[in-house]
Amino acid sequence: MVTDILSEYVSKTQKSKIIFEEAIKYLPLGVSSNYRFFDPYPIYLVKGNGGRVWDVDGNEYIDFILGFGALEVGHANPKIINEVTKALQDSSILGFEYYKTVELAKIISKRYNVDMVRFSSTGTEATMHAIRIARAYTKRKKIIKFEGHYHGSHDQLLININPMVQKDRVPSSLGIPEETLSNTLVAEWNNLESVEKLVKSQSNDICCVIMEPVAMNMGLIPPEKDFLKGIFDLSKEYNFLVIFDEVKTGGKMYSGALGYYNVKPDIILMAKSIAGGFPLSVIAGKREIMELIGPNKVAHGGTFNANPISVIASYVTLTQILTENAFYYMETLSDRLERGYRDIADDLDVDLKVTRWGPSGMIYFSKEVPRNYKELLKTDIPRWFTYFYSMLNSGILPMAGFNEQWTVSVMHTKEEIQKHIEKAYDAVKKAKEERLNLKLFEAF
């Protein structure tokens, strides 16, 4: 029974429940990010090592969430620990520029085929500054984003991220004035006609289109054939910039989505996995655009930008850990997971579809793979919840939500993949029989 699944979760996580009851007195929802909350209460973790994490109750989980895709290096990777420990002896922040920042910028420039690089700390900062740069370069105001794409928690892009009510324009937070969003236009992913319509109606005032080149905040939905090409063609015809938000995708292929699809956006943004779990984000792009940054031009600052610890962690990550051989290994493991889920769907005769891109993938309880956010909401999400809590009870963190995906790391083993598949068989079987009708939680 479905109620037994939740009862088992509660029985296994009593210490998390106690912490939650105390935490909600001091932390809204008892957490520090809305995405970390789920009903009836979240688990509280203590430590991680390799491909596993442990909670306060002592439960051990094989972790395929990996900090929402930030840890392809795995938990407590010894190469990062060794170099960061040494770097801490020379200070965690220096004020003026750290000398190894230049080396890291050169590595990123070569690997991702960009001219110039600026560092910040978070993906939110990167997207916020990128919009400012695009407006300065084009001398235009309006932005086109896609429904279901997430670009950080600043006001300009907090619209139609995960709306449960289907309307053309849905602010994703209270406290955002409509005039702040008046220059943000929303298109539908994998629908070039919706982009063309916006571009043609606002042709003299579109400064940029910003996108996750592979949508990874509404499951995992790659661009359809010719969709990216159509956007780049429109950008040339109407003189607006194309911004790739590769905060997730930048660390999921050796040269990110721009390398995988062999395209050259005007600006790319990266964070998460390129720094091995440390706070670092990248704004990079064409020289004539990036050189607008400076005094009396485009403002960009931050005390913690390119702090020595994050720079060292990123340098080690990109040069010693996330190598081409490492991506081949992760691809092999992720492919095994994909094939495992397809076999499960066939064996149990259940409507379950799988998408995968590199080390990440997603399952949908649906007859068809969704093409956009509206189609994602038409999948059988209550069955996904049954699956999720069953996996949790079995010691597997499969993915963080119905709009997230699995990620494998360089430290996962073939045995851990096999265990994931074995537990997934039982979880999908339960989901076929029962639907867990939880209230959908809008993170934003």
Q: Which residues are catalytic?
A: 150, 245, 272
193 Cα distance to chain centroid = 26
- The number of helix segments (H) and strand segments (E) in the chain equals 16, 14
Query: Which DSSP category does 65 fall into?
Result: S
Q: How far is CA 239 from CA 148, 152, 197, 203, 235, in A?
A: 25, 25, 16, 9, 5
Q: In angstroms, what CA-CA distances link 21 with 7, 8, 25, 44, 260?
A: 17, 19, 7, 12, 46
**Contact by Cβ (8 Å): 360, 376:** no
Alpha carbon separation from 410 to 320, 370, 414, 439 (Å, rounded)? 12, 29, 11, 35
C-alpha 62/C-alpha 51 separation (Å) is 6
Q: Where are the beta strands (DSSP E) in 109-205?
A: 116-120, 142-146, 184-187
Q: Which of 114, 373, 41, 134 is nearest to 263 (CA)?
A: 114
Question: For residue 440, what is the DSSP state?
Answer: P
364-382 core/surface letters (b: 16 or more CB in 10 A; e: else): bbbeebbbbbbbbbebbbb
Query: How far is the C-alpha of 340 from the C-alpha of 358, rounded, in Å?
Result: 16
Instruction: Compute φ and ψ for 76, nearest 5 degrees.
Output: 55, 45
Which two tokens mark 442? 């809008």
**Can you tell me whether residue 437 is helix, strand or coil?**
coil
Q: Decide if 334 contacts 361 (C-beta within 8 A).
A: yes
CA distance 322 to 314: 10
**For residue 21, which of 56, 64, 62, 65 has the smallest C-alpha distance?**
56
Quote the CA–CA distance of 300 and 284 in Å, as a whole number. 13
The CA distance from 221 to 368, in Å, is 12
